[in-house]
């Protein structure tokens, strides 16, 4: 394959990943690494480096829009970034010692979990309970725009959420993903934040988490310009198109499509990991 053909095909695949990721709100980063390794036989380390870069681009691009809407809780985001950045640096330190096959299996497991989360129903939590003492100390409580003015919400189980964010940071660096599904799990399920606050604050944090390990990978030579270029441009273009057409998209059907894609990729990554085909 020539460089031109490779770049065009990777850009096209990345565009699809970015489009699906932004339309479903699940992020396209998780599709990029399996696509590069399974379809294009790119070395896993290069795939992870390119994916991390695309994650920073989409997170930062989308965060701008979300922050304006008023759902993002900047205090919660910054407080939890302490855990995700420590996790990301730990993951970057670990990544040199973990064999590619183990990474592929881990990736498969995270893909399965993402597929499982994407079909679960969204449940809203009651705001009646008082906040966790740490949340009060840290002034994490917030409001979000509701149909009848600002709605207040409380914040539960802060230490558990913080601990899970550390894990999200490790996985982000090991696999080159945003770990959005795990970040939302921490904020939505453990800290009992409203769903839209969880997803937008997660997105706000993803870029910072990815940036923590991307610098390490750059110095190690895992960020290859010829691979990162079509991936970053493709994913970003897909995400921008996705944000434009979001209003009149059939989100439910797209989620199903995304879930099927993620399940196929999970099977591929697990198979390759166990048979050593990568």
User: Contact between 57 and another protein (CB under 8 A)?
Assistant: yes
User: Contact between 253 and another protein (CB under 8 A)?
Assistant: no
Q: Compute the C-alpha angle 10/41/265, nearest 5°.
A: 75
What kind and span of H or E run contains 150? strand 149-153
With contact defined as beta carbons under 8 Å apart, do 165 and 17 qualify?
A: no
User: Contact between 232 and another protein (CB under 8 A)?
Assistant: yes
Closest to another protein by CB, 12 or 260: 12
User: Contact between 74 and another protein (CB under 8 A)?
Assistant: yes
User: Contact between 97 and another protein (CB under 8 A)?
Assistant: no
Own/partner pairs, 152-156, CB within 8 angstroms, 24+ separation: 152/127, 153/125, 153/127, 153/193, 153/194, 153/197, 154/127, 154/128, 154/129, 154/130, 154/192, 155/76, 155/131, 155/191, 155/192, 155/193, 156/129, 156/131, 156/132, 156/190, 156/191, 156/192
User: Contact between 166 and another protein (CB under 8 A)?
Assistant: no
What kind and span of H or E run contains 270? helix 251-275
User: Contact between 116 and another protein (CB under 8 A)?
Assistant: no
CB atoms inside a 10 Å sphere around CB 139:
12
What kind and span of H or E run contains 151? strand 149-153
Contact positions with another protein (CB under 8 A) in 184-213? 207-208, 210-213
Q: Which of 147, 225, 248, 253 binds another protein (CB under 8 A)?
A: 225
User: Contact between 216 and another protein (CB under 8 A)?
Assistant: yes
Contact positions with another protein (CB under 8 A) in 10-29? none
Q: Which of 151, 156, 224, 256 binds another protein (CB under 8 A)?
A: 224
Closest to another protein by CB, 3 or 121: 3
Closest to another protein by CB, 74 or 250: 74
Closest to another protein by CB, 94 or 226: 226
Residue with tokens 């855990």: 83
Residue with tokens 């970034």: 81
Residue with tokens 């497991």: 109
Binding stretches for another protein (CB under 8 A): 1-4, 6-7, 40-43, 46, 53, 56-57, 59-61, 63-65, 67-68, 70, 72, 74-75, 78-79, 81-82, 85-86, 88-89, 92, 138-139, 207-208, 210-216, 218-221, 223-230, 232-233, 236
């Amino acid at each position: 394959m020539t460089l031109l053909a490779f770049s065009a095909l990777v850009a096209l695949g990345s565009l699809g990943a970015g489009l699906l990721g932004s339309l479903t709100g699940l992020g396209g980063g998780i599709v990029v690494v399996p696509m590069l390794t399974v379809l294009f036989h790119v070395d896993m380390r290069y795939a992870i480096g390119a994916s991390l870069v695309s994650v920073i681009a989409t997170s930062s691009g989308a965060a701008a829009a979300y922050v304006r809407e008023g759902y993002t809780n900047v205090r919660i985001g910054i407080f939890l970034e302490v855990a995700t950045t420590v996790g990301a640096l730990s993951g970057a330190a670990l990544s040199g010692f973990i064999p590619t096959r183990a990474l592929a299996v881990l990736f498969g497991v995270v893909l399965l979990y993402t597929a499982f989360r994407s079909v679960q129903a969204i449940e809203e939590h009651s705001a009646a309970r008082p906040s966790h003492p740490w949340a009060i100390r840290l002034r994490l409580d917030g409001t979000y725009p509701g149909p009848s003015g600002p709605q207040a919400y409380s914040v539960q189980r802060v230490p558990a959420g913080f601990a899970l964010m550390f894990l999200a940071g490790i996985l982000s660096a090991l696999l080159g993903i945003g770990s959005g599904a795990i970040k939302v799990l921490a904020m939505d399920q453990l800290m009992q934040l409203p769903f839209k606050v969880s997803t937008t604050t997660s997105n706000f944090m993803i870029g910072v988490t990815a940036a923590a390990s991307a610098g390490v990978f750059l110095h190690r030579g895992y960020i290859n310009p010829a691979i990162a270029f079509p991936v970053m441009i493709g994913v970003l273009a897909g995400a921008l198109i996705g944000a434009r057409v979001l209003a009149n998209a059939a989100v439910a059907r797209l989620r199903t499509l995304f879930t099927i894609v993620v399940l196929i990729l999970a099977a591929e990554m697990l198979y390759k990991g166990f048979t050593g085909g990568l």
